[in-house]
Amino acid sequence: MKTIVAIIAVSLILTVGLSNNANAQFQAGGVNKQGSWYVGEGLKKGEQFSYNLCHINYKDCTPFRIDFWVEGDDKVGTETQWKLQTVVYDEGKVYKGTINVGKIAAEPVGSSKNMIQYAAAFKSSLSWLSAYATADAADFTKGPKKFNMPSWGKIGNIGGEQIIPGSEEQVAVPGGSYDTVRVTWKTGGKVNNVYVLDDFPFPVKADTYAHVSSGIPPQEYRFELLDFQDNISNNPFTKIQGTVNPAENPACAATSDDFTQVSQNTNTQTMIVNVKYSPKNPKQGCTMDMIIDFKRKENQDEWVNQVHYDILVVKPTSSGLPDVVRSLADESNRVAFFTTAGQVRTTIDVKESGKTTYAILVKGTGPETAPDAAKAGFMTFDVNVLQGAMPPTPPVIPTPSPKCTSDQILKDGKCVSKEKTKPADNTKTLDTVIPSWIKTTAKYWSDNKITDKDFASGIQYLINQKIIKIPISTSTEAKSNTIPAWVKNSAGFWADGKTADKDFVSGLQYLITNGIIKIKS
């Protein structure tokens, strides 16, 4: 069981391991390629798509997977639209519904109720270029765009630049490898890229950022194609069971805006965390609505921006440092949640009963790709949870296998070159993989900025998560719970570049062999 201090130690470790390397060169527009493209080009009945997608307006770019199959035409009033049978996999839940897209501009124009927020993210990402490129050949400004044009349009915000075909690039995504045209623009100091494929309805990949007048732009949307199939005659989603919405369960309290409020400073006195939750006494097996505001302690009228955080269920201990029972970020397969504006509204599945202690853990602040743990801290509050039925086990989300080219084979879920594939070797190999940024953590430890326990807990977490790979020593030394001084000194020498990786590894092997760091079997 991890303590909150151990998680903060991991945050310190991860802080220096993440960086943002988006220093692309901005070039003039137009590529030497014949043809044109628009959103929806070539879209036809029976095609099935799968994307991993996020958008800033949906939980600050929390990713989800969206699969959709083109069922056929759907007459809505005087307009004929495409009807898409849709399945969304989002944080362990499965939602089934429909989304309709237009035929001139292939962007969502309607959806079933449970797809509204996902259709909005679809429109503002997969279909974003429909503001510049549609099927209307009579509209020069928004019709099909030629690849050799110097510009496809201009970003609408102040200071926005031209949207241009920047280069021809081969792009590899889980759905395959494609010869694409990179459509690019610059805003807020960031280069944005969307990769389009001739005669393919939607871009295969995108990485874009929101416009800001100052500071580091947050991610606006990001997606990549996971899978594509055509000539699917029957609905491929008929056997998929959607998650039961607790809001539709008569045993659960109806959603309301009658919130209970808690406001506390973090234990490190770095910021004020305001929490509102409803209902006051949630029921096990139902959901709880929660609003979180991260406020500056100097002025509570101002929010703290770019916060990396987690929502925990914890167990109080005599030491005052609670043990972590449940991490919502872990359940979402994330290191942390992220909010650009410092304001969050989310829904929590309630799995416990009785007096339950929740914690809001601030892991750091700063850009999503480069968090700073200087303001890390936490606050806790108790909620009286009524006994109910345990929620069902989340469904297993299928992962599409990547499509390999003729000179590749599928190995361990990845496409690898046939030339690089070697026959099985039964000889045991000992791999050592240590990211260079771990040196900063070793330096913190050697300088006594974090404790022995926190260092061991943090390294243990990273090894178990396979972020660090260490060969296990077969030494039979006597077990000990004390970290010898030579291990700490070795870490400091290694952090200063005075010794090799193998010397640092020897220290970690000692901690593993003596049970100070415990490795999952």
What's the whole-model pTM score? 0.63
Q: pLDDT above 90 covers what percent of the chain?
A: 48
**Looking at per-residue confidence, does 511 or 79 come out higher?**
79
Domain boundary among 196, 229, 262: 229
State mean pLDDT over 319-323: 80
Q: Are residues 256 and 341 in the same domain?
A: yes
Res 7: pLDDT: 66
Res 170: pLDDT: 95
Res 169: pLDDT: 96
State mean pLDDT over 264-291: 94
**Among the ranges given (88-102, 195-209, 410-424), the one the predictor scored with the smallest mean pLDDT:** 410-424
How far apart, in whole angstroms, are the C-alpha atoms of residue 276 and residue 257? 10
Res 445: pLDDT: 78
**Looking at per-residue confidence, does 81 or 411 come out higher?**
81
State mean pLDDT over 153-165: 78
CATH number at residue 94: 2.40.360
Q: Are residues 207 and 128 in the same domain?
A: yes
State mean pLDDT over 256-262: 89
Q: Are residues 315 and 378 in the same domain?
A: yes
**What distance separates the 2 farthest-apart alpha carbons in the chain?**
81
How far apart, in whole angstroms, are the C-alpha atoms of residue 44 and residue 261? 51
φ/ψ of residue 173, rounded to 5: -130, 170
Q: Are residues 153 and 184 in the same domain?
A: yes
Asked if pLDDT for residue 330 goes beyond 80, the answer is: yes
Q: Assess if residue 26 is contained within a domain.
A: no
| Length of the chain measured in residues | 521
Q: Assess if residue 235 is contained within a domain.
A: no
State mean pLDDT over 384-402: 69
Q: Are residues 348 and 214 in the same domain?
A: no
What is the count of structural domains for the chain?
3
Query: Whose CA is closest to 88, among 116, 110, 108, 109?
Result: 116
Q: Are residues 224 and 266 in the same domain?
A: no
Q: Assess if residue 256 is contained within a domain.
A: yes
CATH number at residue 279: 2.60.40.10
Res 277: pLDDT: 96
How much is the mean pLDDT over the chain?
A: 82
**Looking at per-residue confidence, does 441 or 83 come out higher?**
83
Asked if pLDDT for residue 22 goes beyond 60, the answer is: no
Tokens of 200: 């393919």
State mean pLDDT over 43-56: 96
Q: Assess if residue 391 is contained within a domain.
A: no
365 in Cβ contact with 371 (< 8 Å):
yes
Q: Assess if residue 318 is contained within a domain.
A: yes
Reported as a single tens digit per residue, the pLDDT across 446-485 is: 777 777 776 776 677 667 655 566 665 544 444 455 777 7
Res 296: pLDDT: 93
φ/ψ of residue 277, rounded to 5: -140, 150
Q: Are residues 197 and 257 in the same domain?
A: no
Reported as a single tens digit per residue, the pLDDT across 412-446 is: 556 666 554 444 433 333 345 565 556 667 777 77
Reported as a single tens digit per residue, the pLDDT across 335-372 is: 889 988 888 888 899 999 999 999 999 999 988 777 88
Query: 168 falls in which pLDDT band (50, 70, 90)?
Result: very high
How far apart, in whole angstroms, are the C-alpha atoms of residue 124 and residue 8? 35
Q: Are residues 45 and 107 in the same domain?
A: yes
Query: For the stretch 442-474, what's the b/e string if a residue is b when 16 or more beta carbons lie within 10 angstroms of its beta carbon?
Result: bbbbbeeebeeebbbbbbbbbbeeebbebeebe
Q: Are residues 68 and 146 in the same domain?
A: yes
Q: Are residues 223 and 259 in the same domain?
A: no
Domain that holds residue 334: 4-17+251-385
Q: Are residues 103 and 202 in the same domain?
A: yes
Reported as a single tens digit per residue, the pLDDT across 207-243 is: 998 887 666 678 899 999 999 999 999 999 999 998 8
C-alpha pair distances (Å), 376 with each of 15, 250, 472, 491: 11, 40, 32, 24
495 in Cβ contact with 440 (< 8 Å):
yes
Q: Assess if residue 394 is contained within a domain.
A: no
**Looking at per-residue confidence, does 499 or 190 come out higher?**
190
Q: Assess if residue 294 is contained within a domain.
A: yes
Asked if pLDDT for residue 500 goes beyond 90, the answer is: no
Q: Assess if residue 401 is contained within a domain.
A: no
State mean pLDDT over 157-172: 84
How far apart, in whole angstroms, are the C-alpha atoms of residue 328 and residue 312? 6
Contacts 24+ apart (CB under 8 A), 494-501: 494/439, 494/442, 495/439, 495/440, 495/442, 495/443, 495/446, 496/443, 501/432, 501/434
C-alpha pair distances (Å), 41 with each of 51, 199, 287: 17, 6, 41
What are the start-end ranges of the E strands in 270-403? 272-278, 287-295, 307-315, 323-327, 337-339, 343-349, 354-365, 377-385
How far apart, in whole angstroms, are the C-alpha atoms of residue 148 and residue 359? 54
Phi/psi-derived region of residue 35, left when phi > 0, alpha when psi is between -120 and 50, beta in every other case: left
Q: Are residues 211 and 96 in the same domain?
A: yes
